[in-house]
Amino acid sequence: MKKFILPLISIAVLIQSCKNESSKEHSYDEGAKELIEVIDKHSYSNIESVRTKHLHLDLLVDFESSKLVGSVEHELEYLDDAKEVIFDIYGLSIEKIEVDGLETTDYKIGELDELLGQPLTVQLPKKSKKVKIYYSTGSDANALQWLNPQQTAGKVNPYLFTQGQAILTRTWIPCQDSPKNRITYSARIKTPENLMAVMSADNPKEINPEGVYNFKMDQKIPTYLIAMAVGDIRFKAIGEHTGVYAEVEMLDKSVDEFADVDKMIAAAVELYGPYKWGRYDILVLPPSFPFGGMENPKLTFATPTIIAGDKSLVSLIAHELAHSWSGNLVTNATWDDFWLNEGFTVYFENRIMEKVYGKDYADMLMSISYQELTHENEEILHGKHPDDTKLKLDLDGRNPDDGMTCIAYDKGALFLRTLESKVGRDKFDVFVSNYFKDYMFKTISTEEFVTYLNENLLERDSIRFNLDDWIYGQGIPNNRVEIKSTRFEAVDKKVFALYEIEEVQDLGISKGDWSTQEWIRFIRCIPEKIEPEMMQKLDEFYEFSTCGNAEIMAEWYISSIQHGYHGMEPAMENFLINVGRRKFLEPIYGQLVLTPEGVELAKSIYTKARPNYHAISYKTIDEILNWKVEK
Ligand code: BES
Ligand code: ZN
């Protein structure tokens, strides 16, 4: 059975919001009430009764103890006559709590759930407006990665960054940690003297000699988008409203790499309406950052592994930028609706890439994503949770990170592509623009989206479409659009030629002839039967192992392991020790553990590499290697 959670109410809310678009004074409360209907299984908070409107952080960044110490003050809004407010916390030491300025002991902390943390329930005497919690972070604060100087580019100063999505903000801030709730925030951050702090907010451009920084985020965002980084960070402008924050060693390279960001913003705005966040800056993190990118508002966090020197990996910036609409303006109501964030973003990302770099290039990107999708879809269908191939997920009792598969991203995008081709691009673009406008600064569940889609696109034009198959069904429906790349067809011919040639020169392709994406395609498609000797010749000729492009290197290491070629192992070891991006680590370690020799090698590398990884990454790799840590 499909899960429609109170569809009647959603429809009522929708009709309401379509009718009186201009009645702003009511929309806040209506919006708040609308949230009640969808239950977030990943938060203890009682936002249906009382919720944070604004929070203020006052934190000291203590690198000695690897702790954040200070307070958070919540300004509350009531939806009923709530007598208590429930926050999510994880591993925090709560020192003291004040309600409307008076200390209270009338609070309790529930039992620890390994996944969700603990509920912190504070009693509220008569509609108290403010709850201030004094606290410090614990040693299991998985949102935080504290880097020692050796793990940075400069090697002199320590570094700290946070990663809130999906449910980690509660490990550094006591808060109602559900994407359904939107808040504004402000912060006062005290750092060691020579360091800079930046947040998903308005940011400084210079280091403050005293190490005191004040921040404001005046637009309502979900808590998973509160973010901070502290280190020897410098700023350099790209355009008038865009720039890069990075350690000085990475600054110029990054500015060059991201030179097209203003064009990307212009393309995005032309597609789907105004950019609502003022500035758009990019923070380039140290290589242990566990993700490719994170769409923290105003300040995308990015891995340095996209700095390839030739702008060939900047679609990641298009992706994080696109989240400024899909995800940050219009947010998934729960983590079961994650595809609404990522599917729209992958679709949007590709449209930006098409506008800025042309259709041929965008087609290659789409084709890579389709190849990954078909592969992972099969894997999931034959695994423990075949229902994870549905767009609408059911992650009850599981880590929301489990939803971070190609399904949300690439099946989501393919669904939208297919819709686009069914209704025509012009109509579809109008629909998407209106969707972003109507749900701006709101959250939306899959069920509400289906209603909206039916009412505003499909029914209006009497279009029949198998929505249920796509959203509530497993796998990839047959009516998907065909994804084709002419440039890849040419690459595939060369792949087959590998069977016939003696020497790599006979392929007739030199290093500079192909783009990164064409090389990725080539490496991925190297037939199983190709001998290790040919792999070695390819490596000697094209120098994949040490080429400096992280996507190509990772792809090459995986293929080398598959083909029994060992010459790349020193380079791979170096890569695995330095790079902490989970997307690369997972398939490389995953490939290694398929043979007994591989397991040995993986374990010996992991011993050296693990201390460099973020908790998000080492938890995944611990599982792959069955790694036991003594506590
Ligand atoms: N929002 C995600 C990252 C994320 C998702 C973090 C879920 C935690 C939980 C971000 O926008 C993203 O998708 N990053 C991708 C890159 C993208 C180009 C597909 C990544 O990090 O690989
Ligand atoms: Zn994303």
Report yes or no on 468 lying in a domain: yes
| Short-list 188, 321, 348, CA closest to 260 | 321
Q: What is the pLDDT of residue 37?
A: 57
Number of domains in the chain: 3
Report yes or no on 446 lying in a domain: yes
Report yes or no on 152 lying in a domain: no
Q: Are residues 452 and 518 in the same domain?
A: no
CATH number of the domain that 517 lies in?
Answer: 1.25.40.320
Report yes or no on 361 lying in a domain: yes
Q: Are residues 449 and 492 in the same domain?
A: no
| Short-list 154, 236, 233, CA closest to 198 | 233
Q: Using CA positions, which residue lies closest to atom 18 of ligand 1? A: 316
pLDDT(8) > 90? no
Q: Which atom of ligand 1 is nearest to the CA of 316?
A: 18
Q: Using CA positions, which residue lies closest to atom 10 of ligand 1? A: 294
Ligand number nearest to the C-alpha of 401 = 1
Q: Using CA positions, which residue lies closest to atom 15 of ligand 1? A: 292
Q: Are residues 501 and 429 in the same domain?
A: no
Q: What is the pLDDT of residue 439?
A: 98
Indicate the range of 37-51, 265-279, 358-372, 533-547 predicted with least confidence.
Answer: 37-51
DSSP secondary structure code for residue 458 in this structure: I
Q: How far is the CA of 293 from the centre of ligand 1 (A)?
A: 6
Q: How far is the CA of 153 from the centre of ligand 1 (A)?
A: 23
End-of-domain residue from the set 182, 205, 224: 224
Instruction: Report whether 412 contacts 339 (CB < 8 A).
Output: yes
Domain that holds residue 393: 330-472
Q: Using CA positions, which residue lies closest to atom 11 of ligand 1? A: 294
Separation CA 154–CA 135 (nearest Å)? 31
Separation CA 61–CA 192 (nearest Å)? 7
Q: What is the pLDDT of residue 39?
A: 86
Q: Strand 84-89 and strand 118-123: pairing?
A: antiparallel
- 307: three-class secondary structure by DSSP: coil
Terminal-residue alpha carbon distance, the chain: 44
Separation CA 519–CA 515 (nearest Å)? 6
Separation CA 462–CA 445 (nearest Å)? 24
pLDDT (mean) for 253-263:
98
Q: Are residues 455 and 567 in the same domain?
A: no
Q: Are residues 214 and 335 in the same domain?
A: no
Instruction: Report whether 110 contacts 118 (CB < 8 A).
Output: yes
Q: How many CB atoms lie within 10 A of CB 186?
A: 17
Separation CA 31–CA 16 (nearest Å)? 11
CATH number of the domain that 59 lies in?
Answer: 2.60.40.1730
pLDDT (mean) for 557-571:
98
pLDDT(550) > 80? yes
Taking CB atoms and a 6 Å cutoff, what residues make up the pocket around ligand 1? 165-166, 291-295, 316, 319-320, 323, 342, 401, 404, 409, 583
pLDDT (mean) for 134-146:
97
End-of-domain residue from the set 202, 224, 246: 224
Percent of the chain past pLDDT 90, that is, above it, reads 93
Q: How far is the CA of 144 from the centre of ligand 1 (A)?
A: 17
pLDDT (mean) for 64-86:
98
By CB atoms closer than 10 A (0-12, 13-18, 19+), residue 104 is middle
Out of 224, 300, 342, mutate this one to test ligand 1's pocket (max ligand atoms within 8 Å of CB): namely 342
pLDDT (mean) for 186-199:
98
Report yes or no on 370 lying in a domain: yes
Q: Are residues 358 and 412 in the same domain?
A: yes
Indicate the range of 8-12, 81-85, 274-278, 415-419 predicted with least confidence.
Answer: 8-12
Ligand number nearest to the C-alpha of 292 = 1
Q: How far is the CA of 315 from the centre of ligand 2 (A)?
A: 11
Q: Are residues 69 and 206 in the same domain?
A: yes
| Short-list 37, 51, 41, 47, CA closest to 9 | 37
What are the tokens at 48?
């249906």
DSSP secondary structure code for residue 548 in this structure: S
Report yes or no on 459 lying in a domain: yes
If you search the block for the tokens 């303006």, which residue do you land on? Answer: 329
pLDDT in tens, 601-620: 999 999 999 999 999 999 99
Ligand number nearest to the C-alpha of 350 = 1
Q: Are residues 607 and 512 in the same domain?
A: yes
Largest CA distance in the chain: 83
Q: How many CB atoms lie within 10 A of CB 594?
A: 11
Q: How many CB atoms lie within 10 A of CB 375?
A: 12
pLDDT in tens, 12-49: 333 233 223 333 233 334 444 444 456 899 999 999 99
| Short-list 369, 388, 368, 364, CA closest to 378 | 388
pLDDT(220) > 90? yes
Q: What is the pLDDT of residue 14?
A: 30
- 28: three-class secondary structure by DSSP: helix
Report yes or no on 317 lying in a domain: no
Q: Are residues 371 and 492 in the same domain?
A: no
DSSP secondary structure code for residue 503 in this structure: S
pLDDT (mean) for 77-102:
98
pLDDT in tens, 458-504: 999 999 999 999 999 999 999 999 999 999 999 999 999 999 999 99
Q: Are residues 401 and 537 in the same domain?
A: no
Instruction: Report whether 247 contacts 254 (CB < 8 A).
Output: no
pLDDT (mean) for 314-320:
99
Instruction: Categorize the per-residue pLDDT at 629 as very low, low, confident or very high, splitting at 50, 70 and 90.
Output: confident
pLDDT(241) > 70? yes
Question: What angle do helix axes 569-578 and 582-592 make, rounded to 10 degrees?
Answer: 140
Q: Are residues 122 and 218 in the same domain?
A: yes
CATH number of the domain that 389 lies in?
Answer: 1.10.390.10
**If you compute the radius of gyration of the chain from its CA atoms, what whole number of angstroms results?**
25
Q: Provide CB contacts within 8 A for 142, sequence distance 6+.
A: 90, 168, 171, 615, 616
Q: 293 in the Ramachandran plot: left (φ > 0), alpha (ψ -120 to 50) or beta?
A: beta
Out of 289, 294, 321, 404, mutate this one to test ligand 1's pocket (max ligand atoms within 8 Å of CB): namely 294
Q: How far is the CA of 303 from the centre of ligand 2 (A)?
A: 13
Dihedral angle of Cα 48, 50, 54, 58, to the nearest 10 degrees:
-120
Q: Using CA positions, which residue lies closest to atom 2 of ligand 1? A: 294
The identity of residue 343, as a single letter, is G
DSSP string, 83-110: SEEEEEESSPEEEEEEETTEEE--EEE-
The identity of residue 257, as a single letter, is E
Report yes or no on 512 lying in a domain: yes
Please list the active-site residues: 320, 409
Q: Are residues 126 and 212 in the same domain?
A: yes
Q: How many CB atoms lie within 10 A of CB 168?
A: 24
pLDDT in tens, 373-382: 999 999 999 9
DSSP string, 364-387: HHHHHHHHHHHHHHHHHHTSS-GG
End-of-domain residue from the set 178, 196, 224: 224
Q: Peptide bond preceding 266: is omega within 30 degrees of 0, i.e. cis?
A: no
Instruction: Report whether 16 contacts 30 (CB < 8 A).
Output: yes
pLDDT in tens, 501-525: 999 999 999 999 999 999 999 999 9
The gap from C-alpha 459 to its chain's centroid, in whole angstroms, comes to 33
